[in-house]
Amino acid sequence: MAFKDFPQHEQGVALLQRSLERERLAHAWLFTGEGMEELEALARTLAKTLLCERPRRGRTGVATDCCDTCPTCHRVAEGAHPDVRWVRPESKTRYIAIAQVRELMREVQLKPAEGRSKVAVMVEADRMTLEAANAFLKTLEEPPPRSVLILLSSEPQRLPETIVSRCLRLNFGGEAFRPSPDAPLDWLERFGRLAAEGRSLLNRYQLLGVLLKRLAEIRADVEKTLAARSPLNRYQEVDPEVIERWEKELKAAVEAEYRRRRDGVLATLGWWLRDIWLRTLKGDQARLAFPGLAATDTLAERVTTQTALENLAMLAETQRLLHTNVQEALALEVGLLKLQF
């Protein structure tokens, strides 16, 4: 992708391109927004623009966008360019450890291997441990020449202020999540029908089964999609250390993208619980996110407005727990057992 492929973020992209054209690109950027995949795409496009062989140039003759077709652009897109380094939370702990930051600091101190610049991208930067953040602060205070550091975060409030204050922040967030009309909702319709059928313990575990099945489908799709994009499928005869790094990056990328899409599933469930709350208030049908679900009215007749609000609070607490290291299935099980229908 090139910058021209982000019309929904015209303002932020224009600021980046003005900085490029004036040759005043900051050494450290903080990209914030709701979708990590989109933030990664923007960071990747900036890296391609800085290294592109045939860039699109502005009025001053300076590169302001990548061609997206040259070998260098393809290598950056595939994660195979030696001058672009990605750091992600470790797949098991879900944190960025100090060892990862130290390795990143060592690499960005080196001269570019091929291009004009070195680019380091930290995905989910808010997942740095305190020790890692303190170590990374030294690099932000004295950035190496010809280097660009890009931090990505959907929860920038979790970053230390000392980190945020040393980055130029660009917000690429859009409107708050609202379910897409194209999103598959078969699972939600089945969830609603089962919720309307009864209140037994077995019923609650049936609801859990529907949700876990949908999440398993999402994980399988994420693993298949990201594995197909990984340089592991394109380059076999490379250094074993590089292969090991790519494998770790793939695992971390799968986990990050899965969690992002899981948040979308739970947000969809939240909109449906909100629909039930609105119907307890005899709210206008046009304001519902899912006006076609018959179970909404059935359940709204069964619960009070206060109970509907408690269900929403339960889901919010479950989502909060899932952003810690709690076991996913356990958090969902406890949450769904607390649902009151």
At 299-321, the pLDDT tens digits run 999 999 999 999 998 998 898 88
pLDDT for the residue numbered 284? 63
CA distance 293 to 315: 19
Q: Are residues 165 and 17 in the same domain?
A: yes
pLDDT for the residue numbered 178? 55
Is 1 inside a domain boundary? no
Is 332 inside a domain boundary? yes
Q: Are residues 96 and 237 in the same domain?
A: no
pTM value > 0.75:
no
Segments of the chain assigned E as strands: 28-32, 56-57, 63-65, 84-87, 118-122, 147-153, 168-171
Other CB atoms within a 10 A radius of the CB of residue 145 amount to 9
CA contacts within 13 A on the Cβ side of 192: 24
Q: Are 126 and 155 in contact (CB under 8 A)?
A: yes
Over residues 59-105, the pLDDT tens digits come to 888 899 999 999 999 999 988 899 999 999 886 678 899 999 999 99
| pLDDT-wise least confident of 20-34, 141-155, 176-190 | 176-190
State the pLDDT confidence band at 213, using cuts at 50, 70 and 90. very high
Pairing of strands 84-87, 118-122: parallel
pLDDT > 70? residue 266: yes
Nearest CA-CA partner of 153 in 137, 173, 139, 138:
173
Other CB atoms within a 10 A radius of the CB of residue 327 amount to 10
Q: Tokens representing 170?
A: 């660009």
Q: Are residues 275 and 159 in the same domain?
A: no
State the pLDDT confidence band at 256, using cuts at 50, 70 and 90. confident
Q: Are residues 110 and 218 in the same domain?
A: no
**Cα 338 from chain centroid (whole Å):** 28
Over residues 277-302, the pLDDT tens digits come to 988 888 666 678 888 888 999 999 99
Q: Are residues 137 and 284 in the same domain?
A: no
**Cα 275 from chain centroid (whole Å):** 26
- Using the 3D structure, point to which of 148, 171, 194 is the last residue of a domain: 171
Is 179 inside a domain boundary? no
Using left for φ > 0, alpha for ψ between -120 and 50, and beta otherwise, residue 186 falls in alpha
Q: Are residues 142 and 280 in the same domain?
A: no
- Using the 3D structure, point to which of 112, 147, 171 is the last residue of a domain: 171
> What 3-state DSSP class applies to 128?
strand
Nearest CA-CA partner of 319 in 206, 187, 177:
177
Is 194 inside a domain boundary? yes
- Using the 3D structure, point to which of 138, 171, 204 is the last residue of a domain: 171
Q: Provide the CATH number for the domain around residue 75.
A: 3.40.50.300
pLDDT > 70? residue 268: yes
Residue 318's domain spans which residues? Answer: 186-337
CA distance 229 to 304: 49
CA distance 190 to 193: 5
Is 66 inside a domain boundary? yes
Return the percentage of the chain with pLDDT > 70, whole number: 95
Q: Are residues 158 and 46 in the same domain?
A: yes
Q: Are 1 and 44 in contact (CB under 8 A)?
A: yes
CA contacts within 13 A on the Cβ side of 141: 7
pLDDT for the residue numbered 176? 46
Q: Which residue has the tokens 């307890």?
A: 280
Segments of 131-174 assigned E as strands: 147-153, 168-171
Nearest CA-CA partner of 129 in 97, 93, 92:
97
Nearest CA-CA partner of 228 in 92, 78, 39, 43:
78
Q: Are residues 210 and 154 in the same domain?
A: no
Is 178 inside a domain boundary? no
CA distance 172 to 330: 33
> What 3-state DSSP class applies to 247?
helix
What value does the mean pLDDT of the chain take? 88
Q: Are residues 209 and 311 in the same domain?
A: yes
Q: Are residues 127 and 191 in the same domain?
A: no
Is 166 inside a domain boundary? yes
pLDDT > 90? residue 226: no
State the pLDDT confidence band at 24, using cuts at 50, 70 and 90. confident
Query: How many independent structural domains does the chain possess?
Result: 2
pLDDT > 70? residue 180: no
Q: Are residues 121 and 193 in the same domain?
A: no
Q: Are residues 91 and 49 in the same domain?
A: yes
